[in-house]
Structure formats: structure tokens, C-alpha cells
Structure 1
Amino acid sequence: MKIAFIGLGVMGYPMAGHLQNAGHDVVVFNRTASKAAAWVDKYHGERAPTPYLAATNADLVLMCVGNDDDVRSVVYGDDGVLSAMSAETILIDHTTTSALLAEELSVACTKSKVHFLDAPVSGGQAGADNALLTIMTGGEASAYERALPVLDIMAKKVTLVGGVGAGQKCKMVNQLCIAGLVQGLAEGINFAKNAGLDEHVVLDVLRNGAAQSWQLENRTLTMAQGKFDFGFAIDWMRKDLSICFEEAERNGSLVPIAKLVDGFYAELQNAGEQRSDTSVLIKRLAKS
């Protein structure tokens, strides 16, 4: 298939690479042209100077950018992907955005006889690098089935959660759960250190018990070692949580723990930790 991939950040760069390596004809666009050039040097696909040109003649257009407004900037207008897409092609948004944006994009796509799937991802940079992402998808079943062989290349698990917007709402659930998990791990590891326990031994015990989780496996030791210059930045986590809170207001959900943790992240942002991994929460707990 001919595939356009828009956005080559820490997630999109390897995701697009997996598709090219699988034998698809991938054309990429990135706002920083040097990043697209580096991708072409590594994966031997093609790059385009605008989203429109990347999407021209594409069977599928995939996007993984920053936020709602970033998505709009590459979808709409004369240089946007939608004006280049043919009828019956599929636009897939891997960006974590609001469910309202997913519904808006679906309406715009329908007017152009283009199918739309909201398909945010989970698994972090390591999941993207190793094609082990979890992709939660919203949209029509027929479009999902057509796109599934491509999505499977980048993921260990792809699921159609429901109609348009369901993928984004599922990602909100994911982020709400992570907020509480990371804070719990931070408190637990801080407690272990203050109690004089060996964090390696503690991790080995916990990974075989009820506290086991992806966050525990991938962040516990780095927390204990004070390593936070990787992974999912708290700037992005706060962006995601703000989307969760807006949706919670709409559907009447109470999210007190997530709001508490969001406040902790705000403190860390003010302390200069904007680009640190979300596990930097443990810094708030360290003894002075």
C-alpha cells in the first residue's frame, strides 16, 4: 500500500519505519524537514514538503503529532492531507487528542467520502521502537478491518473499542490509570529506600505479586536511580490529563486522584522538570 505518515516525533519516527520495513511505500512529512531527511536516510522511503503532497495518491494517511491544533494544521486547508485524499481512503489519527476532535474529523472526512479512525497508542517510546504498541481504535468496523493489517505491523495489540471517539476515550482511561500508578510507585520506592531495602530485591518481589504492572517493570529501577531524561514527558502527560478532565466534566466522572497527581506535575513543571519522564514524581518525596 501507499501510506503517508505525518509526524516523526519519538513515536511516529519508528512507527513509520516499521511500515516501510514491512514493504509498504511510505511517504513522510514532518514540520522539521531535517527529521524527515534523516528518516529517509535510515529507512529509504520518501519525504514530502507538505502534508498534501505526502497524502497524494495514498491509500492510508496516518498522523502522530502533538495536540488537537497540530492535527487540524495538517488535516485542513490547501496544504492539508484531507484535500489530497481520494474517496474510500482512510485517515488514521494516532495522536492523543480530545474525543470531540475525533468526531469533528469524522464529519469532515465523511463530507470528502474518506473514512476516519481515531487510534491513539500506548506503550511509550520503547513500544514504538520495538513495534509493541497497544492501539485503541474508534470508528467504522469496515474501515478498521481494512486498516488492521497495517496497524498490526506497529503493535502487539490492536482493538476496535467502539465508534468514532471511542479510541480517544479509551486512551483517557489509560492515562487516568497511569497517573495513579506512577504516584503509587513513587511513594512505594521512596518508602523502600527510606526503609533501607534493596530496590532490586523489592522489584523482584513486586513483579511476581499483585502490584505488577508495565510501569513497575519499566520505571521502578530508573526512579530509584534518579533517571528521568527519557520516556513520556510531564508536559505531554499534563496535556493528556487536561483532555481527560474535560471529558470527565462532560460525562459526570469524578477523577480526584488524577487531579491531585496533575497538581504534583504542575509543581514539577514549575521546578524545571517539564521534559522529564512522568516517573519524576518521586523527586517530590525525597528527603531534603
Structure 2
Amino acid sequence: MSDVAFLGLGVMGFPMAGHLVKAGHDTVVFNRTSARAARWVETFGGSSAPTPREAARDRALVFACVGNDDDLRSVCLGEDGAFAGMRAGAVFVDHTTASATVARELAAIAKAHGLGFVDAPVSGGQAGAENGKLTVMCGGEPDAFALAEPAIAAYARACRLMGPVGAGQLTKMVNQICIAGLVQAVSEGIRFAEAAGLDPTMVVDVISKGAAQSWQMDNRHATMIARQFDFGFAVDWMRKDLAICLDEARRNGAPLPVTALVDQFYSDIQAHGGGRLDTSSLISRLDV
């Protein structure tokens, strides 16, 4: 068991930190909204701290799951940042979906402080976080990963070191690129079935037993058919992630024509007030 800290108690971080307590880790949390940190303590036990530095003080492992690159820098750096409170040899594990650039930037600063750094974005959504069944894609030094992996197991069904710092974020980009195309394809398939006079539920039941099967089809077809989107992974978050993918593609030269197109489709959803809807709301664009 380890003394750990967890920074960021959003829809993912709140249950993830809870799983650390359930696994027996002595856990201190920080959240920008102190009321949410207080609710976490009431729910799971553990304790909270007023700053990232205080939460990270003398902890063997410090986890973070925040919004974007700038949020990550704010909890790591500065007088009240986590790096200022961590002891030499401790490891910072970042579960934020962020850029590979910021991962490398912060890893270099961490190394100068005698700290380890692992970029470890996750896949599985809110349900995966709540059920402790996330997939975790990691980048970093093997020694740092080895220290972090046993604690990550509290909320992961799969955790793999993909390469040096930044490799975790790059792998998550591949994940989001694939999801974008899959959700659009499922949307078009369901809408075609409806237009053709078929029962879309029966259609999906049949084709999901064959080569068309995917997680998105299995877990989202029913709510897509019912046009229910008030849950899940928000369009706003997906556009943030796709912007990271497209920016990296411009850097490495990988062509992403479908991803760029679907990103614009999500922009349409946002323009009609759907930024907080689940990503499966793509099908609503086809209802014209």
C-alpha cells in the first residue's frame, strides 16, 4: 500500500480516487472546488488539502486528472504546485488527456526535481472509472511505471507502458481518432436502417455478431436509436481531444481526413447547443 495524492475530482477523478481508498491506499485529494473535495472525503474517507503542494507533500505517488494542458501545468508548477511538495524519488502520474508536448515538458521539470513522471491517459469513460475498469495507456521510464502500476490497478482492467514519456498521450490520440470514425459510422448505419424501413434494434442485434461489432455499437446503439444523449462523454471534451489529435498530426504528417471531418460535425452539434451531450449525438445531425 502507498501514501498517495489525487488532484482533480471531476467525473473521472472522483471515483478513481475512491478506488485508491478502497484498495487500502492512504489518499489525500485536492480539487479547485473545495466543496467537491469535502464531498469526496464524506463519501470515501481519506482527507483533502487546500493546495496541490499540500496534497502531494511526502506522498510516494501523486495522480492527476484535470481538464487540459494549462490545468495540468497549474497543478504541477509554481509555489503551490505538486512538484514543490513532492519528495525526491516520488512519481507523478498524469491521467489527463493532454498533449504529448506538455507531458514531455513536465517530465523534464519533474526530472530536474528528482521526480518520476508517467503520462497515463485513460479510456473507458465515466462508467469505466466508477466500475474500476479503465484502460490506461502509459508513457515514461520503466522504473517510474513499475512504482505506479500497482496503485493504478485499483481502477484499471488494463495498464500498459507504451514507450517513453508522451507515448501514453499518443496512444490515447489513436483511441480518440478511432472512436470518432466509429461513432459517425454507427450513426450513419442506424439512420440508413431507419430510412430503409428496417427495425434498427434488430439490425444492430444481427450485425453486432459479425465484423461490424464495436464497443460504440454495443454500448450506444440503444440510446442513439432513442435519441437520448444526456449522459456520457461530452462533445466539448471530444472536440478538445480531437484538437490535440489534429495538432499532433500536423506535426508528424499523418493524414486524418475522417477525423477532421467528424470534428467539424461535432462543431455543428456545439453550434446548436449540444456541447454537453454525449458524443453519440452525432446521429442527430442526420435527422433532417
Q: What corresponds to 2:139 in structure 1? A: 138
Answering whether residue 30 of structure 2 is matched by residue 66 of structure 1, we say no
Calculate percent identity across the aligned residue pairs.
Answer: 56
Q: How does 1:93-172 map to 2 (within 5 A)?
A: 93-172=94-173
CA distance in 2, matches of 1:46, 1:6: 12
Runs (5+) with no aligned partner, structure 2: none
1:228-279 deviation line (CA, Å, top 9, x unaligned): 1111111111111111111101111000000000011111101000100111
Q: CA deviation at 1:132?
A: 0.7
User: Relative to structure 2, which stretch is displaced further, 19-28 or 192-201?
Assistant: 192-201
Q: CA deviation at 1:142?
A: 1.1
CA distance in 1, matches of 2:55, 2:228: 38
Secondary structure in structure 2 of the residue aligned to 1:73 = helix
CA distance in 1, matches of 2:86, 2:182: 41
Answering whether residue 219 of structure 2 is matched by residue 218 of structure 1, we say yes
Runs (5+) with no aligned partner, structure 1: none
CA distance in 1, matches of 2:150, 2:56: 19
Q: What corresponds to 1:79 in structure 2? A: 80
Q: What corresponds to 1:231 in structure 2? A: 232
Secondary structure in structure 2 of the residue aligned to 1:153 = coil
Answering whether residue 255 of structure 2 is matched by residue 249 of structure 1, we say no
Answering whether residue 193 of structure 2 is matched by residue 205 of structure 1, we say no
CA distance in 2, matches of 1:117, 1:21: 23
Report the residue type matching 1:262 in the other structure.
D
CA distance in 2, matches of 1:202, 1:46: 50
Q: CA deviation at 1:206?
A: 2.2
1:161-199 deviation line (CA, Å, top 9, x unaligned): 000000000000000111100000100111112222223
CA distance in 2, matches of 1:200, 1:238: 29
Q: What corresponds to 1:265 in structure 2? A: 266
Answering whether residue 193 of structure 2 is matched by residue 192 of structure 1, we say yes
Q: CA deviation at 1:134?
A: 0.4
CA distance in 1, matches of 2:19, 2:193: 40
Kindly report the root-mean-square deviation, in angstroms, between the aligned alpha carbons of the 2 structures. Answer: 0.8
Moved over 4 A (4+): none
CA distance in 1, matches of 2:155, 2:253: 34
The answer to whether the 8 Å contact 1:136/1:167 transfers is yes
CA distance in 1, matches of 2:91, 2:203: 47
Secondary structure in structure 2 of the residue aligned to 1:224 = helix
Normalised to the residue count of structure 1, the TM-score between the two structures is 0.98
Q: CA deviation at 1:32?
A: 1.0
Answering whether residue 93 of structure 2 is matched by residue 92 of structure 1, we say yes
Secondary structure in structure 1 of the residue aligned to 2:59 = coil
